Structure formats: structure tokens, C-alpha cells
Structure 1
Amino acid sequence: MSLKHGLLGLLNYSSMTGYELDKAFKASLSFFWQAKTSQIYRELDAMETNGWLSSQRFIQSEKPNKRIYTITERGKKELSNWLSLGEAHIDDAMRVKSAFLMRIFFAGETSLQQSLDLLHKYRESCLQAIQGLGEAHNAISEYGKMVCDERKSIYWEITVLYGESYYEAGLNWADKAITILEKEAQK
């Protein structure tokens, strides 16, 4: 997935301001795709240049001016083409590229305590991520009402289920790794 396709997907449901898109993205997609606010606005400008979306500026006297983005037919076609190439992206989902796991692999060069500390921090991050997915459930409910199509929100729930399973697997792995290293420390 790319950021631009995530933004096109959100705009396919409803026109939004950049602020609303940033909020929607972070509430629903950020557990599997991270983006900074500046990246989102940069992509919106590029997508408008490509003709995938249009924007309309609204001048407001008591609030900052706002720009509302709307997906164009060309943008809908791009989103549809990207979605139809699903098979090409399955291999990407199966690849792991993790600097963290690289550190664990070579952690024998550090102290046992340093490795345990790292694993405990990872475990805590997994717990926080699982708690954060509760926000994703709330976002699904909120944006599901906007879209008025329950079938679409089922797919959103499926991605949150993946996130929960992913972080639960991380917790399970961390617990096993910590147990192994604690046994090693007792030797």
C-alpha cells in the first residue's frame, strides 16, 4: 500500500478537508501504515497535480481557511486499478524487514540484561498497540456511519483483527523470548 492509495480510499467514501483526512487516517489506518501530517499534505498536492483529486478552498472569517478534497473519476480509476492488483502485493505482506529483529539477532554481542530490557520494551509497545486498536474500532463505527455501507466496514474490522492478531503474536513471542533469556541468566 502507498499513502496515496490510502488517502484515495478514504476520499472515495467522502470529501474531506486535509485535517479530517489526517484524523481519519490516523484513527483507522495508522496501525499498519504510518504517515506524518506533512506527508499527507504533500501527497494531497501531488495527487491533485496527477488529477486524482480536486480541491475547493473555502474562505472563513472566524476560522482558518479550509480546503476540501474530493476524489475525481481519474482518482477512482487509480484506486480501482490498485485494488485489482491484489495478487502482486501478497508477497509484500509475507516479507519481514525489521531493524528490531536484526538487533535481536545480533544481541549476543550485548549484555543479557540489555537484551531483556529491549524485549520488555517491545512487549510494552505491543500492549499499547493493542489498546490503541480500541480507537480503531471507534473510528470504524464513526466512519461507518458516514459511508452508510455496512459491507465496507466489515473489511475495516478485518484489518483491525489482523492488527490484534499481529500484536498478540508479538506478545506471545516476547514472552517466550524473555523466558528463554531469563533461564539463560540463571545458569
Structure 2
Amino acid sequence: MSLRNAVMATLLDGEASGYDLAKAFDASVANFWTCTPQQLYRELDRMEADGLVEARTVKQSKRPNKRLFSLTRAGLEALAQFTGADHKPTAIRDELLVATMAADSHPDAVRASLRERKQWSEAKIARYERLRARLLDGLTEEEFLESADRVGPYLTLLRGLSFERDNVRWCARCLTVLERRGARLDAPT
């Protein structure tokens, strides 16, 4: 998947500035696709040159002018083509998994990394839960899914929550195993 597909999917919510898109990426899209603001602005320029988005300038009195981007017909068609294509699962590429594979040689360092990842995932879960509460806005999940204009962002948020919860469970399990092994190896014989 490319950044441009994620941008086009985000623009389905309507016209947005680069700043608005960066915030949207940070708040929701980041659970499955990350980019820096610089990458986002470069991609928006390329997408405009390719006719996938169009921009209009909004003059502001006390701030710099801003550009608002929206999907063109070609952008909608490109997104439809992407959406209809085969989407093969991706492989996990995670340096912490490589470090964990070598945990027997450096258990203290791996435990520290696992604790850090667990805290990171717990913080992301809290952020995603706040976003989930805002999206639901007092509705039950089923009420929201039946009445919302768009459910795609909510469904991807559910996947992000699941992913981070699994990270927490996996890290906790690894920490338990490594701590038990360490206690066993450190015990006097």
C-alpha cells in the first residue's frame, strides 16, 4: 500500500488541509500507516500533479494562507481500483522480535525493550480508546455501525486496538518467561 492510498481514503471525509490530514493521520490512520508531515506534504504535491487531488487556497488574515485538498474524479477512481485489488497479508518486520529471538544472550536488555514496548502499546490503547469514545459519541457500537456515514475509520481503529492489545499480552508473556528463567538461572544450586 502506498501513502497516496491512505491519503485518498482519509480525504473521503471531505476537504482538508495538509495540517488537518497530518492530525487525522496522527489520530486514526497511525494505527495502520505512519508518515511524517514532510512525507505527507510531498505526497500531496505529487498527487496534485497526477490529478488525484485538487487544491484550493483559502486566504487567512492573521495566518498564512492554507491549501485545502479534495479528491478529484481520477482520485476516486484510483481509490476504487486500489480498494478492489487483491490485498495480501503483510509479514511482520519488527526489530524487537529479532532481539527477543536472541533473548537468551542478553535477557536484561530484551526485558527492558519489552517493558518499553508494553508501555508504548498501553499508551496507544488509551489514545485509541479516547478516539473510539469520540467516534461513538454516546452511541453503542452497534448503533454507530448502523447509523454512521462512514464506518471504515472505526473498523480500522478496532484493528489498531486489537493489535496493541495483543502487543501488551505478548510483551507480558515474554517478560514472565524471561523473569522466571532468570530467577531459575540465578538461583543457587
TM-score grouping bracket, smaller chain normalisation: 0.7 to 0.9
Task: State the one-letter code of the partner of 1:129.
Answer: K
* Change in 2 beyond 3 A, CA 1:162/1:6: same
Distance in 2 (alpha carbons) for counterparts of 1:35 and 1:115: 27
Corresponding position of 1:18: 18
Do 1:27 and 1:135's aligned partners in 2 also have CA atoms closer than 8 Å? no
Q: Quote how far apart the aligned CAs of 1:139 are.
A: 5.9
Structure 2 residue aligned with 1:145: none
**Distance in 1 separating the partners of 2:104 and 2:116:** 18
Q: Using the TM superposition, give the Cα deviation of residue 84 of structure 1 relative to its aligned residue in structure 2, in angstroms.
A: 0.4
The counterpart of 1:104, out of the listed 94, 100, 104, is 100
Distance in structure 1 (CA, Å) of the matches to 2:78 and 2:67? 22
Instruction: Give 1:150's aligned residue.
Output: 148
Asked whether the equivalents of residues 18 and 41 of structure 2 are also in contact (C-alpha less than 8 Å), the reply is: yes
Aligned partner of 1:76 in structure 2 is: 76
- Which structure features the higher share of helix residues? 1
Distance change (3 Å), C-alpha of 1:6 and 1:135: farther
TM-superposed deviation, 1:130:
0.7
Where 1:131 maps in the other structure, the secondary structure is: helix
Structure 1 residue runs of 4 or more that deviate by more than 3 Å after TM superposition? 138-142
Structure 1: give runs of 5+ residues left out of the alignment.
143-148
Query: Aligned pair 1:114/2:109, yes or no?
Result: yes
Q: Label 1:36 to 1:141 Cα distance change in 2 as closer, same or farther (>3 A).
A: farther
> What corresponds to 2:88 in structure 1?
90
Match for residue 174 of structure 2 among 143, 162, 177? 177
Q: Shift of the alpha carbon at 1:54? A: 0.9
CA contact under 8 A between 1:59 and 1:66: conserved in structure 2? yes
What is the deviation of 1:129?
Answer: 1.3
1:9 positional shift: 1.4
List runs of 5+ in structure 2 lacking aligned partners: 138-146, 185-189
Distance (whole Å) between structure 2 residues aligned to residue 176 and residue 64 of structure 1: 51
- Counterpart residue type for residue 117 of structure 1: A
What is the CA–CA distance in structure 2 between the aligned matches of 1:60 and 1:120, rounded to whole Å?
46
Match of 1:164 among 161, 172, 175: 161
Aligned residues of 1:54 and 1:70 also touching (Cα < 8 A): yes
Residue matched to 2:120: 125
Alignment of 1:35-54 (within 5 A): 35-54=35-54
Partner deviation per Cα, 1:37-83 (whole Å, 9 max, x = no partner): 11110000000010001111223332211111121100110000000
Q: Check the 8 A contact 1:24/1:139 in 2, yes or no.
A: no
Asked whether the equivalents of residues 99 and 110 of structure 2 are also in contact (C-alpha less than 8 Å), the reply is no
Q: Which letter does structure 2 place at the counterpart of 1:102?
A: V
TM-score by length of 1: 0.85
Determine what percentage of the aligned residue pairs are the same residue: 26
**Per-residue CA shift, 1:94-123, capped at 9, x if unaligned?**
x1111121111123232x222221211121
